């Protein structure tokens, strides 16, 4: 499965990279919303989207992607669960929502859900 991870934290990227590669998935990384938007045009199987990005709000990017790619799975990932809760992410067009820190088991289940 090809996964696009839009995340500006090198530590978060490295952590998810280890999990994805261990499970046999390809992880493509974008560190800005604009870079993520461009890479999403390549139709990844799953988009993992941080909400707090340096150049945009991840929910705005989710709305933009959802308008152009109605069936693309988009999962919001954020540590700011008080600011951006699951309802807001779903209203923005996200398929699912995960809060940081997340467990390896949560990511495994997420990948399994969207690799079918």
59-72 pLDDT, tens digit per residue, is 999 999 999 999 99
- The per-residue pLDDT for 84 is 58
Average pLDDT over residues 33-55: 96
Whether the bond into 101 is cis, omega within 30 of 0: yes
86-112 pLDDT, tens digit per residue, is 888 999 999 999 988 899 999 999 999
Tokens of 45: 């199987």
Question: Taking the model in full, what pTM does it have?
Answer: 0.93
Strand partners, 52: 57
The pLDDT-based confidence of 81 (bands split at 50, 70, 90) is low
What domains lie within the chain, and their CATH numbers?
A: 2-114 (3.40.50.2300)
φ, ψ for residue 13, nearest 5 deg: -60, -45
């Amino acid at each position: 499965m090809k996964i696009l991870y839009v995340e500006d934290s090198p530590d978060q990227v490295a952590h998810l990279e280890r999990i994805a590669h261990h499970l046999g998935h390809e992880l493509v990384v974008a560190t800005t919303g604009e870079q993520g938007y461009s890479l999403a045009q390549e139709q990844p199987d799953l988009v993992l989207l941080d909400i707090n990005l340096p150049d945009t709000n991840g929910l705005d990017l989710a709305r933009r992607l959802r308008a152009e790619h109605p069936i693309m799975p988009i999962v919001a990932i954020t540590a700011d669960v008080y600011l951006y809760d699951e309802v807001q992410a779903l209203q923005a067009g996200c398929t699912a929502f995960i809060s940081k820190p997340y467990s390896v088991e949560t990511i495994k289940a997420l990948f399994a859900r969207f690799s079918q």
